[in-house]
Chains A and B, each alone.
Chain A
């Protein structure tokens, strides 16, 4: 509002009025949304539907949004005081209440919300506002005194850490089963969740090739995951084939489906491609439901064999003549062995996918994928075959989904079409977008946030998805490029840190139209 060209000088009253208008609008929107979502909740009690009202919460949230909006408007104009002290004050007050309630139970009634986790969660907003205000204030002062800003100093310190972050995460992942993470049962559960997270990381890395590198928006990625899972499940259950034969076959099968999907949609771009891939995903799911003879229909496939330790089954009871893993090594049978083995297997497969992606990015094919994402027309003009380039991206991405599907089937021992609904595709896509298109480590962080955290907060059930949505919106506002938006060039002329490298990383200025309009006539 302020930077709009207004012929007369803007009066303070006008600015205050605008600020108030924004705050009121935000409050009204908040009020409407919250009263529908949390304010009135239908609850089915014995035999009838009743309403569960929470008007206190709605009221508190609306008031909070009003003042927060005012504070943020002030902050935008450079007056950080209200945001700094207001946000900080509320945060400190809330924190004090939250801690002291354990000492004085009377204070519980002063807390804004009912669920403890939401009370703790609500601490985030004022803290964020306060930190942001402090950051702006510090940057302002630094600029005035001609020093480097705090953010720049922080990024200077953290920048060299990032390459090591990956290595540190790998070491952590390798050491995980040996770390003291509770007793037998809990550690088994944690490792199991980590296997799920790794599967999703693998899926994210696979989809990253299609969406992040090649720029082909695929909303039906879960179809390839399903193809891989069913290929493994059917071959191993019906024919008794070993995991190690089925795994590559599942990859090949999924890649074949990737090419099959790729061919008809080669000409499509953007939204149209997204719609077709979405339809493809649904088609696969519906075929799985209806082709009962082969896929088992809605009942799915039961008793899918587990992955064997390179031929040695990891079960307690094995048929006569077969040596099990524990017998071979002469150790006591422990179900944890199996879980840990599958964990390492998934970790290894995920690392292979990562290695492949890192490597292919520096090869002509990977560069052609990225070029295709940037401008297909220019690619044609340079003699790059867009058909082959797109198909390889589809096939490679699908192959990794196929591998992930095999691991999924081997872990669950049971698969049905319900595991491959659109929500899964959306989740994997959310991982890629949230992590930052094209960023490997970003995808790991995003998976941890999107899959790991909800697993930990299972008791919140319905609020989980709400928080998920809010989180996504906030990320898109603050970091539209994803958590890790920085793209490191695949090749450098001057080496790292040479010249004035990467002047503007995440931002892509709109090129087209700017110059062509001004063409000299």
Chain B
């Protein structure tokens, strides 16, 4: 529908339409402007990281993308292989259902009282619901539900193997160690067969070895599934190593956009993270005070 949208900064305009195009996205909560006129593009089969200090509006961008918030202003275009979608016009769960945008959460949201495998089967709900004839067929054992369920288990098994959770498939998800829960959440998102995977701080709370494993997993997902990944992360060892492209937000505005190498040397980014260098000399009184107390 709206395939040829102009890219924000021409850098990705190398003939391939971006998978996700965010244009002039703003989100206001009353008087508070959480996201202010942010535009960026996420190319297909690449990892795009969104970074920025706490409160920069990263998660708000995610919530707008995945239908948890309705943006105040802005156009969010998804050019998926199965069609184009204007995400800001689709509500809530339908973004995951139709546009196939999957996400994970900053504070892990698993179905803690259900088993690991069940978590992955629930993720394939819509597919299985159709196979079970919206429960009517499944209730009486008519139709291909049994077969569909076996396929779903196979898909889940595949992701359990990739995330190293096969042995714990029948554990309660809530009783898994923290790192396993993080990986299970990614596996669950992948079981929805997404075209865009949004990860909200997947490395939070992981140790160095677990972070490295996560890097491998995300790179493998990008290379093998050929899907776009959008990543919010504070852990720079993850961000700089695996991102193809980084967007930096501060106070709801985009302050930089580029490759990891460009971002590393960007003046605005350094300023946002480390604060500004003192250019002006201190007022006399303060300087005197400081030298006195020293």
Contact = CB atoms under 8 A, between A and B. Distances in A.
Interface of A: 356, 359-360, 363-365, 367-368, 370-371, 373-375, 377-386, 392, 487, 489-494, 498-505, 507-509, 511-516, 518-521
Contacts of A519: 106, 201, 204-205, 234
B107 A367 contact: no
Given A382-B192, A515-B204, A520-B203, A508 B172 contact: yes
B215 interface: no
Given A498-B170, A502-B170, A519-B205, A360 B139 contact: yes
Nearest to A513: B107
Please list the 8 inter-chain residue pairs (A to B) with the smallest Cβ-Cβ separation, ordered nearest first: A383-B96, A383-B97, A493-B169, A519-B204, A374-B111, A516-B107, A489-B115, A364-B128
A385 B145 contact: no
A378 B139 contact: no
Nearest to B236: A520
A380 B96 CA distance: 8
B118 A502 contact: no
A519 B233 CA distance: 10
Interface residues of B, number: 67
Contact of B109 (A375, A494, A500, A520): A375
Given A365-B134, A381-B96, 18 more contacts: A367-B114, A371-B111, A379-B122, A380-B67, A381-B66, A382-B102, A383-B100, A491-B115, A491-B121, A491-B149, A493-B117, A511-B107, A511-B112, A516-B106, A516-B204, A518-B205, A520-B204, A520-B235
Contacts of A373: 113
Contacts of A392: 135
B125 A360 contact: no
A393 B21 CA distance: 38
Contacts of B178: 514-515
B170 A364 contact: no
B163 to A, nearest CB: 13
Contacts of B111: 370-371, 374-375, 378
Contacts of A501: 170-171
A267 B10 CA distance: 43
Contacts of A363: 128, 132, 135, 138-139, 145
B205 A377 contact: no
Contacts of B107: 511-513, 515-516
Contact of A493 (B96, B128, B157, B175): B157
Nearest to A520: B235
Contacts of B113: 370, 373-374, 487, 508
A378 B68 CA distance: 11
B109 A385 contact: no
Interface in B126-146: 126, 128-129, 132, 134-135, 138-139, 145
B257 to A, nearest CB: 23
B260 interface: no
Given A370-B111, A516-B204, A493 B153 contact: yes
A514 B54 CA distance: 18
Nearest to B233: A520
Contacts of A502: 115, 170-172
Contact of A511 (B98, B174, B203): B174
A487 B114 CA distance: 9
A387 to B, nearest CB: 9
B108 A491 contact: no
12 contacts: A368-B125, A380-B68, A490-B118, A493-B156, A493-B160, A509-B174, A515-B204, A516-B205, A518-B205, A520-B234, A520-B235, A521-B54
